[in-house]
Amino acid sequence: MSLAGKTIIMSGGSRGIGEAIAIRAAKDGANVALLAKTTEPHPKLPGTIYTAAAAIEEAGGKALPLVGDVRDDDFVIDAVARTAEAFGGIDIVVNNASAIDLSNTADISMKKYDLMNDINTRGSFLLAKSAIEWLKKSDNAHILTLSPPISLDPKWFTKHTAYTIAKYGMSLVTLGLSEELREFGIAANSLWPRTAIDTAAVRNVVGAGLVSHSRTPAIMADAAYEILTKPSRELTGQFLIDDDVLEDAGVTDFSVYLNGGTEEDLALDFWVEPKGPHNPELRMH
């Protein structure tokens, strides 16, 4: 199955994993609407909604940059309407926008707590909710949320409870919508990386020292592509890990995704267990 002619509406996407997913879809000739705030480049965060849109067009797709805040109900509802009007419908929702703060409970401000939950959980819920009526009209509708598998092992709450709550909230959106929308043939799944991915967030929040211990965003883009080209009635309610998805698709050489190090050097992401040669002691936190 191809994404040619399919319409994706994505929160975020001006850089990093979101942009990589958008460009991969654009290579098939997909239409991509980006909902993002970044109109001017940041000193530490290269890329804007307009540079991402240009990259989508260059890859062979059609782009619709929509500047606004995913926390703004009116903006999101209008963005969905404008996307459907521009491209004749909506087939795929990608909940990519996410805020991160790894502070512990004593140190995090409630402003940051609210920001993470408003963007991560509420934003994902709002965008998916707003697109449901259009997704019902698609012959292969998907909601893909970039969030982790839910584990109640206390170790995942040791250092950053607030962030864990916000990311698990996104995963609960997947879990709930997968059942609620199953009868309409709308798939809802989550995708998460096994290892650190070289993005601005990793460099600026977690630490630049992880760059050589990371994979490139291409692994997430390729995994997302595999999910979004599956029949929606056959794959829903799953919490998928990038290298598992690609392994199931027949990929055996993951060295193409390395970012300067080796497989043994890769740092595990939050909320995932080691697989293969990954060192369980080398983790993002």
Query: Which residues are tagged catalytic?
Result: 163
C-alpha span between 39 and 159 (Å, rounded): 33
d(CA 267, CA 212): 9
Q: And the tokens for 173? A: 């959106």
Give start and end residues of each alpha helix (H) in 181-228: 200-201, 218-228
Taking the CB of residue 17, how many other CB atoms lie within 10 A of it?
Answer: 27
Contact residues for 58 (Cβ-Cβ < 8 A; gap 6+): none
Find the radius of gyration of the CA atoms of the chain. 18
- CA separation, residue 82 to residues 58, 74, 132 (Å): 22, 12, 15
Rounded Cα distance between 13 and 52, Å, is 7
Helices (H), the chain: 16-26, 49-59, 73-87, 110-116, 123-135, 161-180, 200-201, 218-228, 242-248
For tokens 């697989």, name the residue. 275
Distance CA 282, CA 1 (A): 37
Distance CA 181, CA 147 (A): 19
**CA 254 to CA 275: how far, in whole Å?**
13
